[in-house]
């Protein structure tokens, strides 16, 4: 367990997924509000969970046709 900035951890995961979002034509809406706030936890585990949630959301939008695909992270 360590202290880390949650917004920074989220930004790192998004950097890894941006090309996938672009390839699948998914727009990203992001509103992070914990700027500078630290949490106590396992950064890598949290990032793995975030990555899984993002990829599940992108895959679920795969069948969407005729309307924008938007992934919102708040």
At 12-28, the pLDDT tens digits run 999 999 999 999 999 99
Residue 4 is predicted with a pLDDT of: 95
The residue with greater pLDDT, 36 or 49, is 49
- Please determine, for residue 2, whether its predicted confidence score (pLDDT) is greater than 90: yes
Residue 1 is predicted with a pLDDT of: 92
List beta partners, residue 18: none
Phi-psi region of 63 (alpha: psi -120 to 50; beta: other; left: phi over 0): alpha
**62: number of CA atoms within 13 Å, CB side?**
7
Residue 61 is predicted with a pLDDT of: 93
Domains along the chain with CATH numbers: 2-73 (3.30.565.10)
């Amino acid at each position: 367990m360590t202290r880390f900035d949650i917004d920074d951890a989220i930004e790192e995961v998004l950097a890894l997924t941006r090309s996938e979002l672009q390839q699948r034509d998914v727009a990203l809406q992001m509103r992070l509000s914990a700027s500078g706030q630290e949490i106590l936890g396992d950064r890598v585990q949290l990032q793995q969970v975030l990555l899984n949630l993002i990829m599940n959301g992108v895959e679920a939008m795969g069948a969407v046709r005729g309307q924008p695909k938007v992934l919102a992270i708040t």
